[in-house]
Structure 1
Amino acid sequence: MCADTTQTPDYKDTLNLPKTDFPMRAGLPKREPAWLERWEEIGVYDRLREKEGRKPFTLHDGPPYANGHLHIGHALNKTIKDMIVRSHQMMGFDARYVPGWDCHGLPIEWKIEEQYRKKGKNKDEVNVVDFRQECRKFAEGWIDVQREEFKRLGITGNWPDPYITMDFHAESVIADEFMKFLMNGTLYQGSKPVMWSPIEKTALAEAEVEYHDKESFTIWVKFKVVNAGDLDGAFVVIWTTTPWTMPSNKAVVYGKDISYGLYEVTGAPDECWASVGDKFLLADNLAADVLGRARLNDDQWNRVRDVTAAELEGVGLAHPLAGAEGGNSEWDDIRDFRAAEFVTDTEGTGFVHCAPSHGMEEFELYRDLGMLEQVITYNVMDDGSFRTDLPFFGGKYILSRKGGEGDANKAVIDKLAEVGGLLARGKIKHSYPHSWRSKAPIIYRNTPQWFASVDRKLDDGMGQMGDTIRERALRSIDELVKWTPQTGRNRLYSMIEARPDWVLSRQRAWGVPLTCFTKKGALPTDAGYLLRNADLNARIKAAFEKDGADIWYTDGFKEKILDGIANPDDYDQVFDVLDVWFDSGSTHAFVLRDREDGTEDGIADVYMEGTDQHRGWFHSSMLQACGTKGRAPYRNVVTHGFTLDAKGNKMSKSLGNTIVPEKVIEQYGADILRLWVAQTDYTADQRIGPEILKGTADSYRRLRNTMRFMLGSLADFTEADRVAPVDMPRLERWVLSRLAELDEQVRKGYASFDFQGVFSAVFTFATVDLSSFYFDVRKDALYCDGDSERRRAARTVLDILFHRLTTWLAPVLVFTMEEVWLERFPGDDSSVHLVDFPETPADWRNAELEAGMAKIRRVRRAVTAALEIQRQDKVIGSSLEAAPIVHVEDSETRDLLATFDVDDMCITSGLSVTGDPAPAEAFRVPEIEGVAVVFEKALGDKCQRCWKILPDVGLHAQPGVCGRCNEALN
């Protein structure tokens, strides 16, 4: 007979319910700034530096450019860096991070010029030092803006003392590093085709170029054969997509192994530029295509005969503009005609028109032949216009002043048509190099520039990795650097393996000047052309250290600096500025080498940037350091991909698909943005959009609830409650075993920069192993037990979990884990970011226990699935109303189940395990073999305190409770 429970007291206040003020709703956008202020007040970064006996770990910051608000790529980049730094600090290193900015260069100069144009001012009429000062102020303003935007992301670092490439010390070191190239013989002045931006009037490096589709004119041009016997009067046909180079043509080349033929026109429509009887030399593989382009049908031409390579030797060609009225004999010389290895018969005509001033392959061919003086022209000016005295085309522009099509191509095509030099014309859409700053197309243009040779032997006593920059770089890539992902190695290796000499000079004003002097009247090839003097270099460096690089441009500087070393009247001062990639490539010297928070050997543990930096900062840093240090300046290179919209498209303001970090932070908080970074595979391109961020926020909420449960259950936990692992129940020891496993996984993941792997492992553990299993099982003991060994063991495990989860997640969720930590450990100097990952004893690991728990959880899945059917059918409302019979075929599993409180594991009021054969109607889960469940209702009354249905409810001193609750109440 059951006791009468109608007068049962309300036992709610007797339960050990969670107690915490930790809110369910994070409110991150409003609350995060307060934590930023707190970290600054207590000096977290500086206090970490005070920890003694730690091995330094330095991530060297690739400097962002100081000219605009942050975009999502900045947020991704800086957050990954922050996770690297924070995780290594918490693994016991002295993890230093000095943020930096790139300040020199064309983008800023271009902005100031735009301001001048709006005011009707001319840059060239402004004092160069005044102009440079305006550039400096512009950069300073954006540094302040970006610094606050980076800090808002929760990025830790030495923000009060960043490195800035326009600081006087930085400028002096950049100049000094350049002068090392001057002294070791790497530097030389040469005249060769370089990538040139007519809009910006300067040379560009490969890293400053991006490729976009461009529609170009394409023409097939006739060169008449002269002095060639029976071939006289025939035409060699070339094809080009740059008609503007035709006035600079000096030669045509062919392939000695290509099959050529002589083709004759037998019939021609009126609209055709070919006439009956015309004969053309063409590669056999391309002849039909070329003649088709000329609007000739297959029956309107025939192949006359073979033309051998021997016949082609000694053939002379006339430029199509030769003898043109008004041409002033500009093109009357016979064009050179010879074989070249780079000619193919896969497209075009099998012949290649050569303008060595505008093409590197042609330039190198005639350089190696010693014929550059005969073939180099200077027809194109720095603004992309033809020299004014060039017949027919003087003053025409290759590009318009806004970067669109100019009038040069049309003028050339029209003139060629007028003189009968065209066979066909058309247009082609192809990938074409553009300046990444102005977005305008570029050209190849022969100009005098300063180069760093990558293949000259260096006599500098640093030849352990090779004698040339290229050799040192390639060996460094394979022997000294670890690549994450490994594909980064392949990209950089192939680029450096095939790269030409480094173009160091830019014809601009805002940058570090090339601090060198040249002998008046001497040629660049002369031994004394460059003034090499160690004392002079030291003077220049000291002057820059005191007054900055602006001093180079002041009146009388040359005379003062050369005093007592050389006669100033004998030397010209170079005013080109260095490629900004040389600036950033030199940062290892004035950041890693020179700063107190640098590194002893001037080498960084990690460089981390986007994949575009294989041709940018990774590349220039490698070349620069190999020239001045003899090796790579880094030990690890970590690379991330680009950030795309949710559909995988590149972000663009014109498409309206950009995601701005500031907006994400306003809506969700910086921690959600950081969590998105941690959840993504940053080594590939990543996607982000509103729905993706909603999913990230959902993951965050699940984690937050996990932390809230632990905080509530640990509200009054003290050391007196602690239970030694050896005395814990098997369920708690299983949790510790999983922690030991996870600790190893977390440390390895953070050490290898695998944040996605770390977060995935911790998140799965927190939500699947803890929230959905362990917490679910132990809620009953935590809430309803008295001062039982089981409850104390569970709370001990929760304390252990708390310290590990908060620290493991702190590098990712910097604000939230600080909030969690302070909720439990408040104090003026308290911060999760001041502690390390706790050491987790390896002997907690118990593989046998983990294997056994896997079997038990399989049984549990079968039971909970069976009960869910009963709940859906409204047979029961809660699993505590059930006391199922579980049929388990495997005897080892049955023995294992006997060592656990299986009813607690399955959250039932009772549960029986049997090895008897299961009845046919028993519930089974197909993938869980050997387990069947027969539903039975629990017998007895419902305990008014723990809600279990047990036979002994009402038989104790406290009314309406079970024996366990009666004991707890007593």
Structure 2
Amino acid sequence: TLMCFRSCPSQRGGGLLLRAVSFSSSRCHGVSSGEGSAQPAESGSGQGQYRDTVLLPKTDFPMKLTGQKLLDKELEIQQFADLYSWQRERKAKKEFCLHDGPPYANGDPHVGHALNKILKDIRNRFEMLRGRQVHYVPGWDCHGLPIELKALGELGTSGLSPLQIRQKAREFAEGAIARQMAAFQRWGVMADWDQCYYTFDGAYEAAQLKVFQEMHSKGLIYQDYKPVFWSPSSRTALAEAELEYNAEHVSRAIYTTFPLVSQICLDSVSVLVWTTQPWTIPANQAICYMPNAQYSVVKRLDNSELLLVATERTANMAALLGTELEVVSTFTGSQLEGGICKHPTIPSKEVPLLPANHVTMAKGTGLVHTAPAHGMEDYSVASQFKLSVDCIVNEDGKFTELAGPELHNLSVMNEGTDRVISMLKECGSLVKEERCVHSYPYDWRTKQPVVIRPSKQWFINTASLKDKAKEALQKVRVLPESARSSLLAMLDRRTYWCISRQRSWGVPIPVFYHRETGEALINKHTVSHVAQLFKEKGSDCWWELPIETLLPAASKAGPVGDYIRGEDVLDIWFDSGASWAAVLEESDSRADAYVEGKDQIGGWFQSSLLTSVAVRNKAPYKSLVVHGFAVSEKGEKMSKSLGNVVDPDVVINGGKDPSTPAFGADVLRWWVAESNVFSEVQIGPNALNSARDSISKLRRTLKFLLGNVHSFDPRSQAVDPKEMHYIDQYMLHLLREFSIKVTDAYSEFDPGRVIRVLQAFISRDLSSFYFSIIKDRLYCDPEDSLGRRSCQTVLEEILDGVTRSIAPILPHLAEEVYLHAPGHDEGETLFRSGWIKSSSVWRRPGLEEAVEGACAIRDSFLSSIPGKNSAQYDLTIAIEPGLLFELMESLQEEPTSTSSQLCELMMSSRVKLCSELPRDLPSDALLKHGTFLINLEGGVIREDSAYSIAVVPTSAARCPRCRRFTAESTDCLCPRCQTIVSQSQ
């Protein structure tokens, strides 16, 4: 049935009714039913004599907590180190495992860390509260080039041994870890801080090598000479996940000709090709065409040159060259088979025309320059047709001797490109040069462009894993679901994964090479032996121990002296991707969730999936949660140059500028929870001030609740639901609905919905409705009366439910409230006492319909006196005999009353309940009619009931104690108050 009272909040307490409440009994307060807020008794009228008989809220819980007091209180409450170990030791039927994606140990904590760690902690705390044993071991990704470069600074690697480089890198990583860990703990993150995992630990490295060995034994890891993304600025190979694409990169694109020496009947025909990388022309081994496409020989009318281009591209070429192109002949691509061209800058070299599937007509000429050593698709063509894959670029990005004396030692991306273009001009092959702005891969750390060059590296054959990985992903829940397509697309893009790096700071690839032949020695015996050494001594022993110790006798490799140890280390994505093997407790276990930013779709999410599928044929996670990035309030990426960086330490502790107050950790946590984490998450002064204000409003509600249960012990004074007032039972029903919604939202990784449900419950159901109705009963009824204890029972349930509902988001505030709340022994903590304990309470038949029917009538009453005080009116309700009348009778048995449950709900002076309106109504009576649909037993009983109301100003006087209009005169107490005062004397 419709909760009609929710439609008109403006007259049910005027918003957050607590704003006018003084939580001190030193002044006398009455109750204004219309405004729902306590008012001071008028001075000088003798009414102050009743001040001690009114039961006003009383609590030490502060309305505000700011500045250093706030920070001190949070630190006092932070007992989270014990909490994790306590819950790991208790008995629990189920475990919840959230596997921590390791942040990179190369800098200070930032708001991106806060977004990620707090989001995880909110879910972990919820799961712990609901009785599950949480498994959450924080970790750090400690290896890799960025740490190595930062550690070495301006020193570079010259003169330093691998062990010296590793020592400096380790010290740098340890410092970053210490700073990050301190911040995560200050944010209130509950975790196993004594058992964190670090990818530079020997035990972790050993587990990683076990994964490596199992993949190698299955033939999934192999060594090959292939084109890889190479960073000249870092002097190492990079994986796809270590690239970032610069959409503003500018290349000097060229159109150049390769003279055709066979196949076409016409003389002097040249094949026209287009490339954005002119430096690769000296490495050309073929020109590719599309077999099913149409090609034409065209004649330039400005110089009679004959060019071979795709027919589909002829019009574009004419516009580009600024001349008409006359079609001489047209034929299909398949007729180009067997064609041979002359290389423009190497006259003695001939290159074939070859069919290829990767040729498109979107750009260029429809004929693709192919340099197998410097392009992934080009390499595929070379593999198919047995072409040479000679590398003409060294590790510094400069031409080698193979490129010829004119190019030797020139940087391919700079002066090398200039020289190749000059050479093409000199031999008459350059047709046109143009500036091309396009997306180009850059090294994600040095921010410098990369090149593609062949190198002897170690690879994972991801092509053979793709189908299994996709199948495994089908069983994984992805939030948001839209991220699934990105995961699948990233898998499709990766044909192989280069896992070797030419650096010192990382896990050594456990391979030995023959001194003479260069043949690799690696098998289960050698890898297992090295893994055991790493577990005992750490991977520094790869450089510290003699090869006789590193190479086991069981390898049967021949004389140990014939071998040298390899110098490459593993890609850090393999490092972190193997974390499931090192951290998850059982070999066949899967984490309930991996929670990381969207950049990990092509990073940790994928490397973890591939390694787990390779070894165990299943994903390492049951669900993936993919959140957005933290950005400025203008939606910009944070950067020091823009001055929009938000430091979480300044958010919590305040800054030097007065405009940056100390917000505390809970404000940071509220910001995370309230945000739509599945998109970009904005942070700045507006968002933080809004979070602080929201928490302040919440504190006021909690203070009101605490103040009104200060003398109440739920363990001995709670009222059985079936003895409660109807509205009190009804609030327990709403509290149960609230708890179900909150539980569902937390389970869906949606703390933002938790906050919306919480704020709606407080504003609509509590402040604007229940609080305004019960204050007279709460303040002015006898302390131990059934009506007051009934109300306090519900207030304590609401306090407990609201406190637990916010605890995962605001653990500091929740524990602070719990310290002031009744019903538990001193020293108990909220987080050790469980989740919301709501239950489906016993209700009389028709309970909800009775209250909601009364609320529909109440709405009619309040809308007939807009802006007026409802307590100054008498209300007559006329309902024909039937279900609705019977329901209203359950709230008011007598025909007229000033103290019935129905009168309390109406907040009027008096309510008369009858079957028809009296005929002798005064002329100033306000009349209104309405209907209420009764829906009982799931729709089995439905009745649309009509009612009428008459509203007249009351003739009663205001009682000097309770301030309701129920007294005979202004200097006389109402009958209720007379009884209470006389009994207290």
Is the TM-score greater than 0.5? Answer: yes
Q: Secondary structure at the match of 1:604?
A: coil
What is the aligned partner in structure 2 of residue 571 from structure 1?
Answer: 563
Measured against aligned partners, the alpha-carbon deviations of 1:794-827 in whole angstroms (never above 9, x if no partner) come to: 1011111222221121101111001100122687
What is the aligned partner in structure 2 of residue 869 from structure 1?
Answer: 867
8 Å contact from structure 2 (residues 574, 607) kept in 1: yes
> Larger deviation: 737-746 or 784-793?
737-746
Which residue identity does 1:313 align to in structure 2? E
Which residue identity does 2:580 align to in structure 1? H
Alpha-carbon offset, residue 29 of structure 1: 6.1
Q: Which one of the candidate residues 225, 239, 247 is aligned to 1:191?
A: 225
Measured against aligned partners, the alpha-carbon deviations of 1:22-76 in whole angstroms (never above 9, x if no partner) come to: 1111227643454445544882222222322442221110000111122222111
What is the aligned partner in structure 1 of residue 400 from structure 2?
Answer: 387
Correspondences of 1:649-668 after superposition (within 5 Å)? 649-665=636-652, 666=654, 667=661, 668=663
Q: Which one of the candidate residues 840, 847, 867 is aligned to 2:838?
A: 840
Which residue identity does 2:290 align to in structure 1? G
Cα distance in 2 between the residues matched to 1:794 and 1:425: 84
What is the aligned partner in structure 1 of residue 786 from structure 2?
Answer: 789
Q: Secondary structure at the match of 1:222?
A: strand
- CA gap 1:36/1:162 in 2 versus in 1, 3 angstroms: farther
Cα distance in 2 between the residues matched to 1:427 and 1:933: 81
Q: Secondary structure at the match of 1:357?
A: helix
Answer yes or no: is 1:746 the counterpart of 2:742. yes
> Larger deviation: 75-84 or 214-223?
214-223
Structure 1: runs of 5 or more not aligned? 268-275, 324-331, 400-405, 457-468, 594-598, 871-877
Which residue identity does 1:78 align to in structure 2? K
What is the aligned partner in structure 1 of residue 134 from structure 2?
Answer: 95
Which residue identity does 1:909 align to in structure 2? S
Cα distance in 1 between the residues matched to 2:109 and 2:866: 50
Measured against aligned partners, the alpha-carbon deviations of 1:75-130 in whole angstroms (never above 9, x if no partner) come to: 111111001111001111011221111100111012123x2x2xxx4404201101
Cα distance in 1 between the residues matched to 2:547 and 2:644: 51
What is the aligned partner in structure 2 of residue 880 from structure 1?
Answer: 871
Which residue identity does 2:276 align to in structure 1? T
Q: Secondary structure at the match of 1:49?
A: helix
Q: Which one of the candidate residues 30, 55, 62 is aligned to 1:23?
A: 62
Which residue identity does 2:546 align to in structure 1? G
Measured against aligned partners, the alpha-carbon deviations of 1:175-224 in whole angstroms (never above 9, x if no partner) come to: 23222223232211111121222211111112212222122221111111
8 Å contact from structure 1 (residues 734, 846) kept in 2: no
What is the aligned partner in structure 1 of residue 104 from structure 2?
Answer: 65
Cα distance in 2 between the residues matched to 1:925 and 1:354: 85
Alpha-carbon offset, residue 913 of structure 1: 6.2
Correspondences of 1:916-927 after superposition (within 5 Å)? none
Which residue identity does 2:732 align to in structure 1? L
Cα distance in 2 between the residues matched to 1:398 and 1:889: 95
Measured against aligned partners, the alpha-carbon deviations of 1:268-297 in whole angstroms (never above 9, x if no partner) come to: xxxxxxxx110111112211222322232x
Q: Which one of the candidate residues 693, 696, 702 is aligned to 1:701?
A: 696
Cα distance in 2 between the residues matched to 1:347 and 1:55: 57
Q: Secondary structure at the match of 1:210?
A: strand
Structure 2: runs of 5 or more not aligned? 1-43, 655-660, 892-900, 934-945
Q: Which one of the candidate residues 515, 531, 539 is aligned to 1:549?
A: 539
Q: Secondary structure at the match of 1:231?
A: coil
Which residue identity does 1:264 align to in structure 2? K
Cα distance in 2 between the residues matched to 1:925 and 1:568: 101
8 Å contact from structure 1 (residues 558, 573) kept in 2: no
Cα distance in 2 between the residues matched to 1:858 and 1:428: 70
How many equivalent residue pairs? 899
What is the aligned partner in structure 1 of residue 943 from structure 2?
Answer: none
Which residue identity does 1:703 align to in structure 2? L
Answer yes or no: is 1:228 the counterpart of 2:243. no
Cα distance in 2 between the residues matched to 1:702 and 1:514: 57
Q: Which one of the candidate residues 466, 473, 487 is aligned to 1:470?
A: 466
Which residue identity does 1:358 align to in structure 2? H
Measured against aligned partners, the alpha-carbon deviations of 1:232-259 in whole angstroms (never above 9, x if no partner) come to: 3111111111122222111111111111
Cα distance in 1 between the residues matched to 2:490 and 2:845: 48
Cα distance in 2 between the residues matched to 1:544 and 1:440: 34
What is the aligned partner in structure 2 of residue 403 from structure 1?
Answer: none
Cα distance in 1 between the residues matched to 2:826 and 2:903: 46
What is the aligned partner in structure 1 of residue 728 from structure 2?
Answer: 732
Alpha-carbon offset, residue 653 of structure 1: 3.0
Alpha-carbon offset, residue 427 of structure 1: 1.2
- CA gap 1:201/1:729 in 2 versus in 1, 3 angstroms: same
8 Å contact from structure 2 (residues 917, 949) kept in 1: no
Answer yes or no: is 1:532 the counterpart of 2:523. yes
- CA gap 1:389/1:537 in 2 versus in 1, 3 angstroms: closer
Correspondences of 1:481-496 after superposition (within 5 Å)? 481-496=476-491
- CA gap 1:38/1:25 in 2 versus in 1, 3 angstroms: closer
Cα distance in 1 between the residues matched to 2:477 and 2:540: 39
- CA gap 1:290/1:850 in 2 versus in 1, 3 angstroms: farther
8 Å contact from structure 1 (residues 188, 452) kept in 2: yes
Answer yes or no: is 1:49 the counterpart of 2:39. no
Measured against aligned partners, the alpha-carbon deviations of 1:872-914 in whole angstroms (never above 9, x if no partner) come to: xxxxxx4433335568899755654444434322433234567
Cα distance in 2 between the residues matched to 1:492 and 1:389: 41
What is the aligned partner in structure 2 of residue 460 from structure 1?
Answer: none
Q: Secondary structure at the match of 1:193?
A: strand
Computed over aligned residues only, the root mean square deviation of the Cα atoms, in angstroms, reads 2.9
What is the aligned partner in structure 2 of residue 441 from structure 1?
Answer: 449
Which residue identity does 1:228 align to in structure 2? Q
Which residue identity does 1:394 align to in structure 2? H
Alpha-carbon offset, residue 523 of structure 1: 7.6
Cα distance in 2 between the residues matched to 1:28 and 1:484: 38
> What percentage of aligned pairs have identical amino acids?
34
Q: Secondary structure at the match of 2:707?
A: helix
What is the aligned partner in structure 1 of residue 509 from structure 2?
Answer: 514
Which residue identity does 1:632 align to in structure 2? A
Q: Secondary structure at the match of 2:349?
A: coil
Cα distance in 2 between the residues matched to 1:866 and 1:697: 38
Which residue identity does 1:202 align to in structure 2? T
Alpha-carbon offset, residue 354 of structure 1: 0.5
What is the aligned partner in structure 2 of residue 644 from structure 1?
Answer: 631
> Larger deviation: 845-854 or 643-652?
845-854
Which residue identity does 1:589 align to in structure 2? A
Which residue identity does 2:320 align to in structure 1? R
Which residue identity does 1:319 align to in structure 2? H
What is the aligned partner in structure 2 of residue 259 from structure 1?
Answer: 294
8 Å contact from structure 2 (residues 143, 200) kept in 1: yes
Which residue identity does 1:133 align to in structure 2? Q
8 Å contact from structure 2 (residues 967, 973) kept in 1: no
Q: Secondary structure at the match of 1:226?
A: coil
Q: Secondary structure at the match of 1:82?
A: helix
Cα distance in 1 between the residues matched to 2:183 and 2:92: 33
Alpha-carbon offset, residue 661 of structure 1: 1.9
Measured against aligned partners, the alpha-carbon deviations of 1:610-652 in whole angstroms (never above 9, x if no partner) come to: 1221211111111111222332112222221222333333333
Query: When the two structures are superposed, what TM-score results if normalisation uses the length of structure 1?
Result: 0.87
What is the aligned partner in structure 1 of residue 429 from structure 2?
Answer: 421
Cα distance in 2 between the residues matched to 1:940 and 1:604: 68
Q: Secondary structure at the match of 2:606?
A: helix
- CA gap 1:49/1:578 in 2 versus in 1, 3 angstroms: same
What is the aligned partner in structure 2 of residue 319 from structure 1?
Answer: 343
8 Å contact from structure 2 (residues 106, 173) kept in 1: yes
Q: Secondary structure at the match of 2:792?
A: helix
What is the aligned partner in structure 2 of residue 588 from structure 1?
Answer: 580
What is the aligned partner in structure 2 of residue 823 from structure 1?
Answer: 820
Q: Which one of the candidate residues 611, 631, 639 is aligned to 1:624?
A: 611
Measured against aligned partners, the alpha-carbon deviations of 1:418-476 in whole angstroms (never above 9, x if no partner) come to: 322211111122222222212222222211110112355xxxxxxxxxxxx33432222
- CA gap 1:659/1:920 in 2 versus in 1, 3 angstroms: farther
Which residue identity does 1:553 align to in structure 2? W
What is the aligned partner in structure 1 of residue 182 from structure 2?
Answer: 148
Which residue identity does 2:368 align to in structure 1? V
Cα distance in 1 between the residues matched to 2:70 and 2:334: 82
Cα distance in 2 between the residues matched to 1:784 and 1:904: 13
Which residue identity does 1:381 align to in structure 2? N
> Larger deviation: 19-28 or 907-916?
907-916
Query: When the two structures are superposed, what TM-score results if normalisation uses the length of structure 2?
Result: 0.86
Q: Which one of the candidate residues 496, 505, 508 is aligned to 1:501?
A: 496
